[in-house]
Homo-oligomer: A and B are copies of this chain.
Amino acid sequence: MKTTDTRTQILDTAQELIQKVGLNAMSYADISAAVGIRKASIHYHFPTKDNLVAALLDRHSPCFFRFCDAILDSPESPEVKLRHYCGLFEATLSSGKQDKACLYGMLGAEMKTLNSPLISQVVQFYRDNQTRLVQLLQQGRETGDFKFPGNVESMAMVIFSMLEGGLLITRADGGVAQFREMVEQLIQVVKG
Protein backbone atom coordinates (compact mmCIF):
# COMPACT_ATOMS: atom_id res chain seq x y z
CA MET A 1 0.00 0.00 0.00
CA LYS A 2 1.65 3.18 -1.16
CA THR A 3 1.06 6.27 0.98
CA THR A 4 -0.77 9.27 -0.40
CA ASP A 5 1.36 12.35 -0.94
CA THR A 6 0.86 15.38 1.29
CA ARG A 7 -0.69 17.56 -1.39
CA THR A 8 -3.40 14.97 -2.01
CA GLN A 9 -3.99 14.45 1.68
CA ILE A 10 -4.51 18.19 2.09
CA LEU A 11 -6.98 18.30 -0.81
CA ASP A 12 -8.89 15.27 0.45
CA THR A 13 -9.16 16.71 3.95
CA ALA A 14 -10.14 20.16 2.71
CA GLN A 15 -12.88 18.72 0.52
CA GLU A 16 -14.33 16.68 3.35
CA LEU A 17 -14.31 19.72 5.64
CA ILE A 18 -15.95 21.99 3.08
CA GLN A 19 -18.68 19.44 2.44
CA LYS A 20 -19.25 19.17 6.17
CA VAL A 21 -19.00 22.72 7.57
CA GLY A 22 -18.55 24.93 4.53
CA LEU A 23 -15.63 26.95 3.21
CA ASN A 24 -15.97 29.88 5.61
CA ALA A 25 -15.98 27.60 8.65
CA MET A 26 -13.02 25.53 7.48
CA SER A 27 -9.56 26.70 8.53
CA TYR A 28 -5.95 25.79 7.83
CA ALA A 29 -5.79 24.76 11.48
CA ASP A 30 -8.50 22.13 10.89
CA ILE A 31 -6.61 20.68 7.93
CA SER A 32 -3.40 20.85 9.91
CA ALA A 33 -4.87 18.78 12.73
CA ALA A 34 -6.41 16.19 10.42
CA VAL A 35 -3.39 15.67 8.17
CA GLY A 36 -0.83 15.87 10.95
CA ILE A 37 1.16 18.70 9.47
CA ARG A 38 1.69 22.31 10.55
CA LYS A 39 -0.29 25.22 9.11
CA ALA A 40 2.78 26.74 7.46
CA SER A 41 3.38 23.53 5.51
CA ILE A 42 -0.06 23.81 3.94
CA HIS A 43 0.85 27.28 2.72
CA TYR A 44 3.86 25.75 0.99
CA HIS A 45 1.55 23.59 -1.15
CA PHE A 46 -1.24 26.16 -1.46
CA PRO A 47 -0.11 29.75 -0.78
CA THR A 48 -3.64 31.06 -0.28
CA LYS A 49 -6.99 29.56 0.59
CA ASP A 50 -8.29 30.49 -2.85
CA ASN A 51 -5.45 28.50 -4.44
CA LEU A 52 -6.47 25.50 -2.40
CA VAL A 53 -10.14 25.68 -3.33
CA ALA A 54 -9.39 26.30 -7.00
CA ALA A 55 -7.11 23.25 -7.05
CA LEU A 56 -9.86 21.28 -5.34
CA LEU A 57 -12.40 22.16 -7.99
CA ASP A 58 -9.92 21.61 -10.81
CA ARG A 59 -9.41 18.12 -9.50
CA HIS A 60 -13.03 17.32 -8.68
CA SER A 61 -14.90 18.54 -11.72
CA PRO A 62 -13.20 16.41 -14.42
CA CYS A 63 -13.45 13.40 -12.14
CA PHE A 64 -17.16 13.92 -11.54
CA PHE A 65 -18.00 14.42 -15.19
CA ARG A 66 -15.93 11.42 -16.21
CA PHE A 67 -18.19 9.31 -13.99
CA CYS A 68 -21.16 11.23 -15.27
CA ASP A 69 -20.38 10.68 -18.93
CA ALA A 70 -19.60 7.04 -18.36
CA ILE A 71 -23.17 6.71 -17.15
CA LEU A 72 -24.61 8.63 -20.08
CA ASP A 73 -22.60 6.64 -22.62
CA SER A 74 -23.44 3.28 -21.09
CA PRO A 75 -25.82 0.90 -22.89
CA GLU A 76 -28.33 1.02 -20.03
CA SER A 77 -31.90 2.26 -20.35
CA PRO A 78 -32.56 5.98 -19.72
CA GLU A 79 -34.30 5.08 -16.47
CA VAL A 80 -31.29 3.18 -15.17
CA LYS A 81 -28.98 5.97 -16.32
CA LEU A 82 -31.02 8.55 -14.42
CA ARG A 83 -30.95 6.36 -11.35
CA HIS A 84 -27.17 6.06 -11.58
CA TYR A 85 -26.77 9.79 -12.15
CA CYS A 86 -28.77 10.53 -9.00
CA GLY A 87 -26.63 7.90 -7.29
CA LEU A 88 -23.59 10.11 -7.82
CA PHE A 89 -25.21 12.65 -5.50
CA GLU A 90 -26.43 10.08 -3.02
CA ALA A 91 -22.84 8.80 -2.81
CA THR A 92 -21.57 12.08 -1.37
CA LEU A 93 -24.20 11.83 1.36
CA SER A 94 -23.39 8.29 2.40
CA SER A 95 -19.63 8.13 1.84
CA GLY A 96 -17.02 8.46 4.56
CA LYS A 97 -17.83 9.99 7.90
CA GLN A 98 -21.32 10.99 6.84
CA ASP A 99 -22.69 14.49 7.34
CA LYS A 100 -21.46 15.69 3.98
CA ALA A 101 -23.43 17.72 1.44
CA CYS A 102 -22.50 18.41 -2.17
CA LEU A 103 -19.22 20.29 -2.55
CA TYR A 104 -20.70 22.71 -5.04
CA GLY A 105 -23.92 23.04 -3.10
CA MET A 106 -21.98 24.28 -0.09
CA LEU A 107 -19.96 26.69 -2.22
CA GLY A 108 -23.18 27.86 -3.87
CA ALA A 109 -24.57 28.83 -0.48
CA GLU A 110 -21.37 30.76 0.25
CA MET A 111 -21.20 32.15 -3.28
CA LYS A 112 -21.41 35.81 -2.28
CA THR A 113 -18.23 35.49 -0.22
CA LEU A 114 -16.27 33.79 -3.02
CA ASN A 115 -13.76 35.47 -5.31
CA SER A 116 -14.79 35.62 -8.94
CA PRO A 117 -12.64 32.86 -10.45
CA LEU A 118 -14.19 30.45 -7.96
CA ILE A 119 -17.69 31.71 -8.67
CA SER A 120 -17.23 30.87 -12.35
CA GLN A 121 -16.12 27.36 -11.52
CA VAL A 122 -19.20 26.76 -9.37
CA VAL A 123 -21.61 28.20 -11.95
CA GLN A 124 -19.98 26.10 -14.66
CA PHE A 125 -20.58 22.96 -12.61
CA TYR A 126 -24.28 23.78 -12.42
CA ARG A 127 -24.50 24.40 -16.15
CA ASP A 128 -22.57 21.27 -17.08
CA ASN A 129 -24.86 19.16 -14.94
CA GLN A 130 -27.98 20.57 -16.47
CA THR A 131 -26.54 20.03 -19.96
CA ARG A 132 -26.05 16.34 -19.15
CA LEU A 133 -29.55 16.07 -17.73
CA VAL A 134 -31.06 17.65 -20.84
CA GLN A 135 -29.32 15.04 -23.00
CA LEU A 136 -30.49 12.22 -20.78
CA LEU A 137 -34.09 13.44 -20.64
CA GLN A 138 -34.18 13.96 -24.40
CA GLN A 139 -32.89 10.44 -24.90
CA GLY A 140 -35.53 9.00 -22.60
CA ARG A 141 -38.28 10.81 -24.41
CA GLU A 142 -37.13 9.50 -27.76
CA THR A 143 -37.09 5.91 -26.55
CA GLY A 144 -40.46 6.42 -24.89
CA ASP A 145 -39.12 5.55 -21.44
CA PHE A 146 -39.80 9.04 -20.15
CA LYS A 147 -43.18 10.71 -20.40
CA PHE A 148 -43.48 14.12 -18.79
CA PRO A 149 -45.07 17.41 -19.84
CA GLY A 150 -43.11 20.60 -20.53
CA ASN A 151 -39.65 20.97 -22.02
CA VAL A 152 -36.51 19.06 -21.15
CA GLU A 153 -34.57 22.18 -20.06
CA SER A 154 -37.10 23.05 -17.36
CA MET A 155 -37.30 19.45 -16.23
CA ALA A 156 -33.50 19.29 -16.00
CA MET A 157 -33.60 22.29 -13.71
CA VAL A 158 -36.28 20.69 -11.55
CA ILE A 159 -34.16 17.57 -11.16
CA PHE A 160 -30.85 19.31 -10.50
CA SER A 161 -32.37 21.70 -7.96
CA MET A 162 -34.04 18.79 -6.24
CA LEU A 163 -30.77 16.88 -5.99
CA GLU A 164 -28.82 19.82 -4.60
CA GLY A 165 -31.58 20.84 -2.21
CA GLY A 166 -32.27 17.25 -1.27
CA LEU A 167 -28.70 16.75 -0.10
CA LEU A 168 -28.98 19.72 2.26
CA ILE A 169 -32.43 18.81 3.55
CA THR A 170 -31.89 15.11 4.11
CA ARG A 171 -28.50 15.74 5.71
CA ALA A 172 -30.41 17.69 8.34
CA ASP A 173 -33.31 15.28 8.65
CA GLY A 174 -33.92 11.81 7.29
CA GLY A 175 -30.56 10.89 5.86
CA VAL A 176 -29.79 8.64 2.90
CA ALA A 177 -33.03 6.67 3.21
CA GLN A 178 -35.10 9.79 2.64
CA PHE A 179 -32.87 10.91 -0.19
CA ARG A 180 -33.34 7.58 -1.95
CA GLU A 181 -37.10 7.75 -1.49
CA MET A 182 -37.10 11.20 -3.03
CA VAL A 183 -35.09 10.06 -6.05
CA GLU A 184 -37.39 7.08 -6.53
CA GLN A 185 -40.39 9.39 -6.50
CA LEU A 186 -38.74 11.60 -9.09
CA ILE A 187 -38.13 8.66 -11.40
CA GLN A 188 -41.76 7.59 -11.15
CA VAL A 189 -42.78 11.11 -12.11
CA VAL A 190 -40.38 11.28 -15.04
CA LYS A 191 -41.65 7.97 -16.37
CA GLY A 192 -45.13 9.45 -16.34
Which residues from chain A sit less than 8 Å from chain B, CB to CB? 20-22, 24-25, 99, 101, 105-106, 108-113, 119, 122-123, 126-127, 148-151, 154-155, 157-158, 160-166, 168-174, 178, 181-182, 184-186, 188-189, 191
Supposing A150-B189, A155-B185, A189-B158 touch, asked if A169 and B111 sit within 8 A by C-beta, the answer is no
| B25 lies within 8 A of A113 (CB) | yes
A171 in contact with B111 (CB, 8 Å): yes
- 12 additional A-B pairs beyond A126-B173, A154-B181, beta carbons within 8 Å, are A20-B112, A21-B112, A22-B109, A22-B112, A105-B109, A106-B109, A122-B172, A154-B182, A155-B189, A160-B165, A161-B161, A164-B168
Contact check, A172 vs B99: say whether CB atoms are below 8 A apart.
Answer: no
| A149 and B105 contact, CB distance less than 8 A | no
Contact A185 B166, CB 8 Å, known A22-B24, A172-B111: no
A18 to chain B, nearest CB (A): 11
- Say whether B113 contacts A21, CB under 8 Å: yes
Evaluate whether A123 and B172 lie within 8 angstroms (CB atoms) in the complex, with A22-B22, A25-B110 already known.
yes
Name the B residues within 8 Å of A127 (CB-CB).
Answer: 173
Q: Which residues of B contact A99 (CB under 8 A)?
A: 112
Inter-subunit contact A186/B158 (CB<8 Å): yes
| Given A24-B24, A101-B109, A109-B106, A157 contacting B172 (CB threshold 8 A) | no
User: Which chain B residues lie closer than 8 Å to A122 at the CB level?
Assistant: 172
Q: Please name all residues of chain B whose beta carbon is closer than 8 Å to the beta carbon of A172 when the two chains form the complex.
A: 108, 111, 119, 122-123, 126
Question: Given the complex of chains A and B, what is the CA–CA distance between A163 and B165 in angstroms?
Answer: 7
Most-contacted residue by chain B among A99, A155, A184, A189 (CB, 10 A): A189
Whole-angstrom distance between the Cβ of A173 and the nearest chain B Cβ: 5
Name the one of B111, B157, B165, B188 contacting A164, with C-beta atoms under 8 angstroms.
Answer: B165
Q: Report Cα–Cα, A111/B137, bound state, in Å.
A: 33
